[in-house]
Amino acid sequence: MTLRSFRLFARQLLLVFALACAGAAQAADVEITRAAIDKTDEGYRLDAHYAFELNSAMKDAIEHGIPLYFTTEIQVVRPRWYWRDEVAIRARQTARISYDVLIRQYHVSYIGSVRQTFSTLEDAMFYIRRPGRWLIGPKSALKSGETYTVTLRMGMDREYLSKPIQVNAFNDSDWRLNSNTKRFNYRAE
C-alpha cells in the first residue's frame, strides 16, 4: 500500500466515523412537545411537555427498586452585539422516579419538593412527562420588552445513579435518553 492510498483510506475511514457520530448525536429519544414561558406574580414559569417511553432495561431497573432521575435544564439569554451574551436565567430541575416493592407503588418527586405516589408506572411517567409549571426565575430576572433566546433540554440524568450502575449506564446505549436542544425566542412582558 502506498502512502497516497493509505491517506485516502484513512480519510474515508474518518469520514465514515464522523457521519456515524453525527447520526448518533442527532438521535433524540425525548421529544419536547411544548415549551413556553409564562409571566406570573411570582416570576417566570416554564410550561413544558415531553414525549418519551422507557425501554425494557429502564423499566426493569425501576421494578427492582433502582430510582431513575430526569433533569430539565433551561437557559434564558439576552443576545448583545457589543459584548458576550447576557445569561439572565439558568436553572435545573430533577425528577426522581422510584418503585416501592413492598407497597407496590411508584413515587415521583422533584428534588426539593413533595413526593407524589402513583399506583401504575404509566401514571408516574405522565407526571414526569407533563410536570407542573416550574418557577425558573423572579420577575426581576428579565427586562420588559427585551427579546431573549431560550434553550431547553431534558433527559435521563445518569450522574445520580449508584456507581456500579453508572459504569454500565455510560457504556450501554439503552441507558441514554435525551432530547435535542430546543431553542426559541421569548419577548419579556
The reported pLDDT for the residue numbered 15 is: 35
For residue 87, what is its C-alpha cell? 445569561
Q: Per the domain annotation, does 7 fall within a domain?
A: no
pLDDT digits (tens, 9 = 90+) for 25-74: 434 589 999 999 999 999 999 999 999 999 888 899 899 988 999 999 99
Whole-number pLDDT of residue 21: 43
Instruction: Judge whether 22 lies within some domain.
Output: no
Residue 150 lies in a domain: yes
- Domain membership of residue 9 (yes or no) is no
Domain residues for the domain of 119 are 29-187
Q: Is residue 183 part of a domain?
A: yes
Q: How far apart are CA 160 and CA 173, in angstroms?
A: 17
Integer Rg of the chain from CA: 21
Grid coordinates in use for 48? 413544558
Q: Residue 24 has what pLDDT?
A: 41
Rounded to an integer, what distance in angstroms lies between the CA atom of residue 53 and that of residue 75?
A: 25
Q: Cα separation of 166 and 175, whole Å?
A: 9
For 144, phi and psi rounded to 5 degrees? -60, 135
What is the pLDDT, as a whole number, of residue 3? 56
pLDDT at 146: 92
Domain count, the chain: 1
Whether residue 8 is contained in a domain is answered as: no
- What is the β-pairing status of strands 68-78 and 44-51? unpaired
Instruction: Give a yes or no: residue 42 inside a domain.
Output: yes
In the chain, which residues have pLDDT < 50? Answer: 6-27
| Residue 38 pLDDT | 93
**Domain-embedded: residue 178:** yes
